[in-house]
Amino acid sequence: MSEQGPFDRILEPQGAVSRDKTARGILIGMGVLGALLLLLVLSPFDILGGGDGGGGVTPDGTQQPGSTAAGTNLRAPRAPEGLESLSRVFDLKKPDGSNGPYNLTVNLLQPASDGRNLALYTSDDGKWERLSNATLVNNGTAASGQVEDMPENVAVLRRTENATVISGALPAGAQADPEALSLLAIVSPVDYIPMPDGTVSGTPTTLPDEHGSVAPVVRASAQKDVDAANAILGSPGLQEAHINALVQLSLQPGYTGIEIDYQRLNPARKADFTSFITVLSDRLRQSGRTLTVTLPLPAKNGVSWDTGAYDWEEMGRRADVVKLMAEPDPSIYHQRMEEALNFLKPKLPLTKVVLVVTRQSYEKGTDGLRAMSLGEGLTLASTIEVRTTSAITPNSSVIIVGKNIFQDDGASGLRWDEEASAVAFSYPGRGGQRTVWLENSLSLAFRLDLARRLGLGGIAVGDISLNDQAPAFWAPLRTYAESGNVPLAQPNGVMLRPTWQIQAGGSEPGTKGNIVWKAPAQPGAYDVSLIVSDGVIRAMQKIVLDVRPAASGSPVPAGTPAVRP
């Protein structure tokens, strides 16, 4: 967070040392006048907790003009079961004439390095109410969060019962979704790659002031980077150079640790990778930094398991967090994940394991599995095809279908897939029958519940970039972070039924993704739209149909599909 400015309001605990009353009166008067002027131009307000564990001071140690007396407790409040207190309780007063939201920054009793499960709370006669998530700021000496309405008091508490870490990766050069940043305890920019000489290469991502702890990712995904990682592991000298480079990277300002994502290593490098992680972990701990290792899902071959280049028992001993990549195929996701986690359970504490979840939807056919966005999946589901091939004339009937959901063609229509716990549809396409699974907040909830049931330590979102084609994951993740639970729901069946809209004329909607449109009596261009839903949001496509006078004679195209903006 940026340094406090001259207009920041500072919370002062009760019992602060008195100042010269005359001078203070002048200062307060000046502060009130300044605040009144400020009300005309600024919102939201930034209310800052006192310094040095609760004192109301500015960065230079002087009393802030216009500061509000606050802090009825000089000790940490007694937190309810499952929570611990990280700050004193500060009394608040809503600035006259102001409206929310308000950014509240509260100084902590002690500097903190663990930003997990923090929140702002308010107390009413000993009854605590959660206000919002909070993130560490000011080098861990304070926590900040945003509230819509000004509470009477505020304190920072941490949930210790069913504690869950929510983290997320940000692709290099991408803009983070602001809602994701307000939720995540750890942000992992994917900024760096290993180089053949043992160094690392990359440019750090600039993040907004308000975010969780930052642990950058060093990733080897392109083949040249995988080759570099294999070469480094095969040379003791390069290993040492690489470890030195990684430790130095972790010590850069603002970083709390690093993440190693070398998922495609040669299995012959298993012992080398284990040795590398062992030394790196020791060096990072000596420097007060954390180590996260991302590993691929173990592969089951009959009754045996193949873990490739990765010794899970040693990874569990050495790494602070182990991120587990998930099975991408939705049709076998839950079965594979349960089997793999039961296999891993004896090898490391599952509280160290963080499940990676994706915001991608998937299509599966005879040619394999293909990732796509939710937007692309809904576009496929709402594609329109005109089956009438003759010219459209006034009062004529036109057969129109949803090309990929029309059940008489062998499509399934939009449905809830019990095995995948996701909305899906199948249709005849390239190479035969194809199935699309739509990833959204409903399917995510079942993945979060898997993590809860098996006692995993957290959830990592694979991509937190701002993307209007991706599903909005943040509400169920916030619920899970706050309570350790998430409600499970299937979509209302009515929402999965396609609907049609016509601009003019008559219609006879079918029950299998089709409609018979009766053209209007007047020639012209008319819209026909198909609306589909994944159970959470709706998507629409339209075609424009030209109705020509009957006497015009020559055939014309039946319609030109066009996606509605």
Task: Tell me the CA distances in angstroms from 464 to 205, 219, 318, 357, one per residue in order.
Answer: 13, 17, 27, 11
Confidence grade of residue 131 (pLDDT, cut at 50, 70, 90): confident
* Sequence-ordered list of residues with C-beta below 8 angstroms from that of 416, at least 6 positions apart, any chain: 422, 423, 424, 490, 491, 493, 496, 535
- Reported as half-sphere exposure (CB side, CA atoms, 13 A), residue 431 has a value of 9
With bands split at pLDDT 50, 70 and 90, how would you rate the model's confidence at 76?
low
Contact (CB, 8 A) for 67 and 56: yes
Pairing of strands 186-194, 217-219: parallel
Residue 370 lies in a domain: no
Question: Terminal CA-to-CA distance of the chain, rounded, Å?
Answer: 38
> 119 and 233 share a domain?
no
Query: What is the C-alpha separation between 68 and 47, in angstroms, rounded?
Result: 10
Q: Establish if 2 belongs to a structural domain.
A: no
In three-state secondary structure terms, 513 is coil
Q: What is the CATH number of the domain that holds 541?
A: 2.60.40.10
pLDDT band at 103 (very low <50, low <70, confident <90, very high): confident
- Is position 529 within any domain? yes
Q: What is the pLDDT of residue 77?
A: 74
Cross-strand bridge partners of residue 132: 120
Whether 378 is covered by a domain: the verdict is no
Matching residue, tokens 């899906």: 424
> Given a cut of 50, is residue 163 above it in pLDDT?
yes
pLDDT tens profile 433-471: 999 999 999 999 999 999 999 999 999 999 999 999 999
**Phi and psi of 38, rounded to 5°?**
-65, -35
Residue 161's pLDDT band (cuts 50, 70, 90): low
Two tokens, residue 284: 């990072």
Which pLDDT score, from 0 to 100, does residue 208 have? Answer: 84
Of the pLDDT bands very low, low, confident and very high (cuts 50, 70, 90), residue 66 is: very low
Same domain, 131 and 201: no
Residue 114: per-residue pLDDT: 74
Same domain, 326 and 392: no
pLDDT of residue 148: 85
The residue out of 159, 177, 192 marking a domain boundary is 159
Of the pLDDT bands very low, low, confident and very high (cuts 50, 70, 90), residue 164 is confident
Q: Specify whether 290 is located in the same domain as 416.
A: no
| DSSP 8-state symbol, 191 | E
**Tokens 């605990």 correspond to what residue?**
13
* 475 vs 442: CA distance, rounded Å: 11
- Give the whole-angstrom CA distance, residue 42 versus residue 554: 66
Residues 275 and 393 in one domain: no
DSSP string, 393-408: -TT-EEEEEETTT-GG
Residues 154 and 255 in one domain: no
Q: How far apart are CA 128 and CA 72, in angstroms?
A: 15
Domain-located, residue 377: no
Query: Tell me: the pLDDT tens digits for 245-277?
Result: 999 999 999 899 999 999 999 999 999 999 999
> Which of 159, 191, 223 is the endpoint of a domain?
159
Report the candidate in 4, 18, 26, 284 with the shortest Cα–Cα distance to residue 138. 4
**Whether residue 179 is found in the same domain as residue 121:** no
Residue 1 lies in a domain: no
Per-residue model confidence (pLDDT) at position 26:
34
Domain boundary among 159, 193, 221: 159
Q: Does one domain contain both 353 and 414?
A: no
What are the φ/ψ torsions at residue 172 (nearest 5 degrees)?
-55, 130
Tell me: do 188 and 148 sit in the same domain: no
Number of domains in the chain: 3
Backbone angles phi, psi at 420, to 5 degrees: -90, -15
The pLDDT value recorded for residue 193 is 98
pLDDT tens across 347-394, in order?
A: 999 999 999 999 999 999 999 999 999 999 999 999 999 999 999 999
Tokens of 254: 């603002």
Residue 420 domain flag: yes
Share of the chain above pLDDT 90, in %: 67
* Residue closest to 475 by CA, chosen among 139, 52, 133, 158: 133
Alpha-carbon span 83 to 511, nearest angstrom = 53
pLDDT at 137: 83
Which amino acid is present at 462? Answer: G
Rounded CA gap, 63 and 516, in Å? 76
For residue 337, the one-letter residue type is M
Model pLDDT, residue 32 = 36
Do 133 and 172 share a structural domain? no
For residue 295, give the CATH number of its domain: 3.20.20.80
Per the model's pLDDT, the better-predicted residue between 375 and 145 turns out to be 375
**CA angle (449, 453, 457) in 5-degree steps:** 90
* Residue 294 and residue 151 share a domain: no
- Count CB-CB contacts under 10 A for residue 509: 16
pLDDT of residue 125: 81
- What's the pTM value of the predicted model, to 2 decimals? 0.76
- Report in angstroms the alpha-carbon separations of 435 from 371, 438, 439, 540: 12, 10, 13, 20
CA 204/CA 184 separation, integer angstroms:
19
Statement to judge: residues 146 and 171 lie in one domain: no
Domain extent, residue 426, equals 383-432+491-562
Query: What are the two backbone dihedrals, phi and then psi, of residue 19, each rounded to the nearest 5 degrees?
Result: -105, 175
Inside any domain, residue 14: yes
